[in-house]
């Protein structure tokens, strides 16, 4: 690999720096960790490769890891989520090599991952498990030297658990996504708000009075449904899990199969981590002008090959990030951001304030993995509960919120079984 980095336009560095600093304001917990890391250097001398969405918030995470002494390289975890100005700023102002260009091809995307691997990381970080799975598939000899890998998202954790089940996992991974201070806030409030933001920026769509179909009532789906409802949409939820479906119904949403929702929806958003959630039979019955978006990790939730086959014409970029598919039945379906994560492709991803918690968990979990390296085995670990409670306590403090503390009598009561009616 001849070059040391790959970014779209290095002259965007100053704009990127301003956005990184703006995000930093809303990341007080991570700032505090960075100051400690700068003094203690818990990651001293370690090569690290992070495959994450290249955003202003991620920039503050990699700055923190660098402050901790790591030689960190960042590559994109999605071809459409890179903020080119942030990538340029990291290279120019923070001397962190970045391999990421917004709108790059699959080939270029995997070149970046290979650059991250050639960096010879002993710690890796992933958002969707593309880096870990490429190491396993193409560089298995590296596995023994890897201390551990942190995984940021639900889809990545699902892939890694499948590898563990098949006994294919060759080094320890930590499911950062499953920390409470991650999914409760990032997946719900972060995805909720930023998905609405992405859809509005792409379409200027009025949510009030529209039928908005939310596929999947997990953490992300709950967040998006709640925010769309708050803006006056008539929200319909589709699910495959009966418990989540009851929850959606009791939260006040209509619940029905996609085939019924497809007939009445004005806007569809998938947030499931599943494949072909909206497919041929659904497109066939959609209203003329229906809009389809995805906020799940991969661009497989909407069956785009089927949509292409059903179309007599595709008009690219009828508006930025919007493609119009003119179907053979004469109706049109609008697809946002080529079915990729709409909140990152059409807006700026999650607000910094929620990423403050997710990325503080990332930083502290990395430190924990390094400290406990001799004990870790090739399996999927949970984030230690102390990290979750530390991050929550620090976040509350930064928000100026105090809470009650258990009295000795309460501690005794909660730990005893003798006292009853
Ligand atoms: N856009 C973002 O920035 C962002 C942020 C966090 C997570 N994610 C991704 O979003 C996706 C969802 O994450 P989550 O944390 O909400 O997961 P989750 O497991 O909490 O929820 C997924 C839900 O989708 C349902 N589902 C599965 N297949 C379905 C189908 N065919 N039809 C309807 N419902 C179906 C499941 O039953 C489940 O309730 C994942 O791919 C995750 O990686 C995206």
Residues 325-345: tens digit of each pLDDT: 999 999 999 999 999 999 999
Cβ-Cβ contacts under 8 Å for 104 (sequence gap 6 or more): 76, 79, 82, 112
**143 within ligand 1 shell (Cβ under 6 A):** no
Among protein residues, the one whose CA lies closest to atom 1 of ligand 1:
295
Among residues 378, 372, 362, which one has the least CA distance to residue 48? 362
Q: How far is the CA of 18 from the centre of ligand 1 (A)?
A: 33
**221 within ligand 1 shell (Cβ under 6 A):** yes
Task: Give the three-class secondary structure for 4.
Answer: coil
What phi and psi, each to the nearest 5 degrees, are found at residue 198? -60, -45
- Separation between Cα atoms, residue 265 and residue 207, nearest integer Å: 12
**343 within ligand 1 shell (Cβ under 6 A):** yes
**240 within ligand 1 shell (Cβ under 6 A):** yes
User: Where is 325: in which H helix or E strand?
Assistant: strand 322-327
**192 within ligand 1 shell (Cβ under 6 A):** no
**Ligand 1 mutation target, pool 218, 279, 355, most atoms within 8 A of CB:** 218
Task: Give the three-class secondary structure for 112.
Answer: helix
**78 within ligand 1 shell (Cβ under 6 A):** no
- Give the atom of ligand 1 at the shortest distance from the alpha carbon of 342: 1
**One digit per residue, pLDDT tens: the chain, 421 residues?**
556 999 999 999 999 999 999 999 999 999 999 999 999 999 999 999 999 999 999 999 999 999 999 999 999 999 999 999 999 999 999 999 999 999 999 999 999 999 999 999 999 999 999 999 999 999 999 999 999 999 999 999 999 999 999 999 999 999 999 999 999 999 999 999 999 999 999 999 999 999 999 999 999 999 999 999 999 999 999 999 999 999 999 999 999 999 999 999 999 999 999 999 999 999 999 999 999 999 999 999 999 999 999 999 999 999 999 999 999 999 999 999 999 999 999 999 999 999 999 999 999 999 999 999 999 999 999 999 999 999 999 999 999 999 999 999 999 999 998 887 7
**155 within ligand 1 shell (Cβ under 6 A):** yes
Q: How far is the CA of 273 from the centre of ligand 1 (A)?
A: 4
Cα angle at 21 between 17 and 22, to 5 degrees?
115
Among protein residues, the one whose CA lies closest to atom 38 of ligand 1:
218
**352 within ligand 1 shell (Cβ under 6 A):** no
Please give the span between the terminal C-alpha atoms of the chain, in angstroms, as a whole number: 71
Instruction: State how far the alpha carbon of 12 is from the alpha carbons of 90, 101, 147, in Å.
Output: 11, 12, 35
DSSP string, 28-93: HHHHHHHHHHHHH-TTTT-EEEEEE--SHHHHHHHHHHHHTT-EEEEEESSTT---HHHHHHHHHH
Task: Give the three-class secondary structure for 151.
Answer: strand
- Give pLDDT, residue 418: 84
What phi and psi, each to the nearest 5 degrees, are found at residue 152? -90, -25
**219 within ligand 1 shell (Cβ under 6 A):** yes
Q: Where are the alpha helices (DSSP H) in 185-341?
A: 191-203, 219-230, 242-250, 258-264, 280-285, 304-310
- Give the atom of ligand 1 at the shortest distance from the alpha carbon of 276: 31
- Separation between Cα atoms, residue 177 and residue 26, nearest integer Å: 20
**239 within ligand 1 shell (Cβ under 6 A):** yes
pTM of the predicted structure, to 2 decimals: 0.95
**286 within ligand 1 shell (Cβ under 6 A):** no
- Give pLDDT, residue 2: 55
Question: What's the chain's Rg over C-alpha atoms?
Answer: 22
**Ligand 1 mutation target, pool 53, 154, 192, 257, most atoms within 8 A of CB:** 154
Structural tokens at position 292: 């389809």
Among protein residues, the one whose CA lies closest to atom 21 of ligand 1:
218
- Give pLDDT, residue 420: 79
**215 within ligand 1 shell (Cβ under 6 A):** yes
């Amino acid at each position: 690999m001849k070059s040391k980095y790959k970014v779209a336009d290095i002259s965007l560095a100053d704009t990127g720096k301003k956005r990184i600093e703006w995000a930093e304001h809303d990341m007080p917990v991570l700032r505090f960790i960075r100051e400690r890391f700068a003094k203690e250097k818990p990651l001293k001398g370690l090569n690290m490769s992070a495959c994450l969405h290249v955003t202003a918030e991620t920039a503050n995470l990699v700055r923190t890891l660098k402050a901790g002494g790591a030689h960190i390289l960042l590559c994109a975890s999605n071809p459409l989520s890179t903020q080119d100005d942030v990538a340029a700023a990291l290279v120019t102002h923070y001397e962190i090599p970045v391999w990421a260009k917004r709108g790059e091809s699959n080939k270029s995307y995997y070149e970046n991952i290979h650059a991250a691997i050639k960096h010879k990381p002993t710690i890796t970080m992933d958002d969707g498990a593309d880096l870990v799975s490429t190491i396993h598939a193409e560089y298995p000899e590296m596995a023994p030297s890897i201390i551990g890998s942190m995984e940021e998202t639900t889809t990545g954790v699902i892939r890694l658990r499948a590898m563990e089940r098949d006994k294919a996992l060759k080094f320890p991974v930590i499911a950062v996504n499953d920390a409470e201070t991650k999914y409760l806030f990032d997946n719900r409030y972060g995805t909720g708000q930023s998905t609405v933001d992405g859809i509005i920026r792409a379409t200027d769509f009025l949510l009030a009075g529209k039928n908005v179909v939310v596929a999947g009532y997990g953490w992300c789906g709950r967040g998006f449904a709640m925010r769309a409802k708050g803006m006056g949409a008539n929200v319909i939820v589709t699910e495959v899990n009966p418990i989540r479906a009851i929850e959606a119904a009791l939260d006040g949403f209509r619940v029905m199969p996609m085939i019924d929702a497809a007939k009445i929806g004005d806007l569809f958003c998938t947030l499931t981590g599943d494949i072909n959630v909206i497919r041929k039979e659904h497109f066939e019955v959609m209203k003329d002008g229906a809009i389809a978006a995805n906020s799940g990790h991969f661009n497989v939730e909407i069956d785009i090959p089927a949509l292409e086959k059903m179309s007599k014409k595709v008009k690219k970029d009828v508006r930025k990030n919007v493609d119009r598919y003119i179907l053979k039945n004469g109706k049109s379906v609008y697809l946002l951001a080529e079915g990729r994560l709409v909140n990152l492709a059409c807006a700026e991803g999650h607000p910094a304030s929620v990423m403050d918690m997710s990325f503080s968990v990332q930083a502290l979990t990395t430190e924990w993995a390094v400290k406990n390296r001799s004990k870790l085995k090739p399996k999927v670990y949970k984030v230690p509960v102390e990290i979750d409670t530390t991050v929550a306590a620090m976040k509350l403090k930064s928000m100026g919120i105090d809470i009650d503390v258990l009295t000795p009598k309460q501690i005794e009561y909660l730990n005893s079984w003798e006292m009853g009616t």
